[in-house]
Homo-oligomer: A and B are copies of this chain.
Amino acid sequence: MPDIAAVKAALAAQRIETPSWGYGNSGTRFKVFAQQGVPRDPYEKLDDAARVHAYTGVAPKVSLHIPWDRVDDYAALAAYAKERGVELGAINSNTFQDDAYRLGSVCHPDPAVRRRAVRHLLDCVDIMDATGSADLKLWFADGTNYPGQDDVTARQERLAESLAEVYARLGDDQRMLLEYKFFEPAFYTTDVPDWGTAYAHCLKLGPRARVVVDTGHHAPGTNVEFIVALLLREGRLGGFDFNSRFYADDDLMAGAADPFQLFRIMHEVVRNGGLAPAAGIAFMLDQCHNVEAKVPAVIRSVCNVQEATAKALLVDADALAAAQRDGDVLAAHAVLMDAYDTDVRPLLRALREERGLDPDPVAAYLRSGRQERIAAERAGGDQAGWGA
């Protein structure tokens, strides 16, 4: 049976990175509903992220999205974060919101557009140098909408060339995390549609290129934890963009749509050594809080990842291995389910209290009155969103 002290230690050591854009407005193509108290600039986003960390104790890092989080002085931004108790995490590039990118960015048929996109990626590495961020996270909206629109193979060549140029620019302590996505915004081909494509590119780039698994970026029915196990085995898993989905890339709160899947993913992470800091797995959120309050939604998501991790740590590995070895299907399944069926909330409440935190982070945040405060204070100005 797992040692509870060890489980707690592992949970206390876990680091979950929250996305700056999760604090801003977001929506669907039909409507972005603005909310009260939404940050107006990267500094206010860091304020929000700092509260999430203050209440959960496990979210000390914040991913940035460029240009949405563009500032004049990134060192100052990093210092601001540090003062508030958090630090800047992965730098996310954006090559999909300029008018030039209608037909793609790094895969665009026009070399001038590709150049512009690569230059943006190189800028992002400059920003990493300034912020001390270790990871360049790349997601490309590139693809086509109609059969015949462009040439699949030619686009792969352009992609490979662009990535190689950016990879060559990285410092020794910097990594490239390549994200794949099944579809959207492209509706016929997507240039990095699956883990296999991302993996093939990473292999050619070098050891510091790794694949990011966004849990919402798969075809219906895809066994995501299988991919996680495979990439860990290959040493090519760079991290996660956690969120949840019932249909497509719904970007709901992690653990909200399929908590059992999140548990199975964390089980593969634990089983394959992915929780150890040396494994270099970045546990990031990438979510949109379209209809729910944003800060509490991020806190809830962090807690959901924690709960899934706690359950995964509670799996009796010896009993599981024994039942698997014996080919006892029901017994092996039961060992896993015993951990999943456990209510780990008391354990996490105890852990938080030991660390001087409120046992219920969402309730504590809501009680604090901060939400009303920022709703009042953050009047005027332009609320942050995907476009800014």
Contacts and interface: CB of A to CB of B under 8 A. Distances in A.
A152 interface: yes
A139 to B, nearest CB: 10
A334 B333 CA distance: 28
A260 B362 CA distance: 22
Contact of A219 (B102, B145, B222, B321): B222
Interface residues of A, number: 104
B102 A248 contact: no
Interface stretch (A223-231, A350-358, A374-382): A223-231
Interface in A236-283: 245-248, 250, 252-253, 256-260, 264, 268, 271-272
Given A29-B27, A194-B196, A183 B221 contact: yes
A40 to B, nearest CB: 18
Contacts of A120: none
Nearest to A337: B148
B250 A187 contact: yes
A182 interface: yes
A373 interface: no
A27 B97 CA distance: 11
How many copies altogether? 4
A263 to B, nearest CB: 9
A306 to B, nearest CB: 12
Given A183-B221, A221-B219, A252-B187, A145 B329 contact: yes
B193 A329 contact: no
Contacts of A197: 196, 230
A336 B102 CA distance: 21
A296 interface: yes
A60 B134 CA distance: 57
A165 interface: no
Given A185-B28, A252-B187, A329-B291, A246 B221 contact: yes
Given A194-B196, A197-B230, A248-B248, 15 more contacts: A31-B185, A102-B291, A102-B327, A147-B256, A148-B323, A148-B335, A149-B324, A153-B233, A153-B268, A184-B248, A193-B226, A196-B230, A219-B220, A291-B329, A292-B329
22 contacts: A28-B185, A34-B99, A102-B327, A148-B334, A148-B336, A149-B333, A150-B324, A150-B332, A151-B324, A152-B230, A153-B232, A185-B290, A188-B223, A189-B223, A189-B226, A196-B197, A219-B222, A221-B247, A259-B260, A293-B329, A300-B330, A330-B362
